[in-house]
Amino acid sequence: MTPASQRIHQSGDVVDDRYQVDSFIDEGGMQQVYRCRDSTLDRDVALKFPKNKSASARFRRSCILSAQINHPNVAKTLDYFEFQGREYLIEELIAGENMHALLERYDRLDPFLVAHLAHHLAKGLAASHRAGVLHRDLKPSNAIVALEPWPEIVKITDFGIAKMADEELTAAIEFGIEKSITTSATLVGALPYMSPELINSPGTAELKSDVWSIGAVMYEMLSGTKPFGIGLAAVGKIVSGNSPPKPACFGASQQFGAHLDELWSIVEACLQFDPSGRPSADELVRRCDDLCYSSCVRRIGTISSFQFSAYGFIAPDDGLSNVFFHKDSYYGASPRVGQRVSFACFSSGTAAPRAIPVLPFRESKT
């Protein structure tokens, strides 16, 4: 995180006589992001700009392309302008967090949640591909989801930054990936999701390179690990043509087995070494359309009891009545009293409502 003293803007700054900076939101290898108030239209927006000033022309072209995409699963590009020698992108402000933050809270996601997130990512990607726009840098930190308890909103973002990331990756690979991997934040973050053709032939991004990235993201959601690892070691595994191993957790629960198998078949299709063997984004949407999964709104609570190693109750944070769950609906290791969980809840007539799935939060290591 950039220290406050090194941030380009501070609270109260006014950019282009229109956008008043409210607060710093986040940063990545290529950009800083601020929450601003658009005084002309009286709305909050996200203000972004590249750290790399030499990339201004590419940044402008990419912003123009991304503005052509109009879809609920893609963050809207609202404005582009130059101010005091710096290029700025204005996007809709999404009340949420990046998907990377969501993944950090769990060891892995249950198949219903994976299906929901992947389905919406595929829809957003398909819309961009129909507009002729490649993302090039699709990864969890470039997708915004609504805050828990249920990430109903899923939006792909940073199309304007992705072209610059592609240029930096090309230069880094040509210069020497082994040296660059320790100096480029963009390269370190993008490598686990890069297609083999991008590594083998820098600058050859094609539509199905984005599909590979969705497959890599799905693998991480399902397993809690990146399919080919991280750092320099990932490069050799990605370009080897060998598929990543099927996560061991897939055989742990009969309750979710069929759903996991369906998702795994999609991951395998997306991670085909030859781009021609991968589905298009539209085909990926159709495959996700066929998935049977619950999109019931989740709640958050604490396991208050667990008896006979078979069933227990969850005390919801919202203060409503306790919710029954069976161990087969628990998507993790053995449940324990005091465990924080996210869960979907269904009525069971006159008995206590029932939870499925029950997804445990990652245990604190402190």
Say what angle helices 56-66 and 159-180 make with each other, to 10 degrees.
130
Rounded Cα–Cα distance for residues 316 and 353 (Å): 11
DSSP element (H, E) containing 143:
strand 143-146
For the question of residue 137 being annotated catalytic, the response is yes
Please tell me the chain's helix, strand, coil percentages from 3-state DSSP, rounded to the nearest 5.
Answer: 40, 25, 40
**Spatial contact of 333 and 183, defined as CB atoms under 8 Å apart:** no
299: amino acid identity, one letter: R
Q: To 5 degrees, how large is the angle CA 137–CA 151–CA 349?
A: 150
DSSP class of residue 120 equals: H
Considering the candidates 137, 158, 166, 210, report the single residue annotated as catalytic. 137
The alpha carbon dihedral of 357, 214, 182, 233 has a sign of: positive
- For 340, list phi and psi in degrees, rounded to 5: -80, 135
Q: How far is CA 41 from CA 12, 37, 44, 46, in A?
A: 18, 9, 9, 14
Q: What is the CA radius of gyration of the chain?
A: 22
Amino acid in the structure at residue 62: S
H-only helix segments in the chain? 56-66, 99-104, 111-130, 159-180, 185-190, 196-200, 207-223, 232-239, 257-270, 281-289
Phi, psi of 270 (to 5 degrees): -70, -30
- What distance in Å separates the CA atoms of residue 36 and residue 147, rounded to the nearest whole number? 20
CA-CA distance, 172 to 158, in Å (whole number)?
20
Active site residues: 137
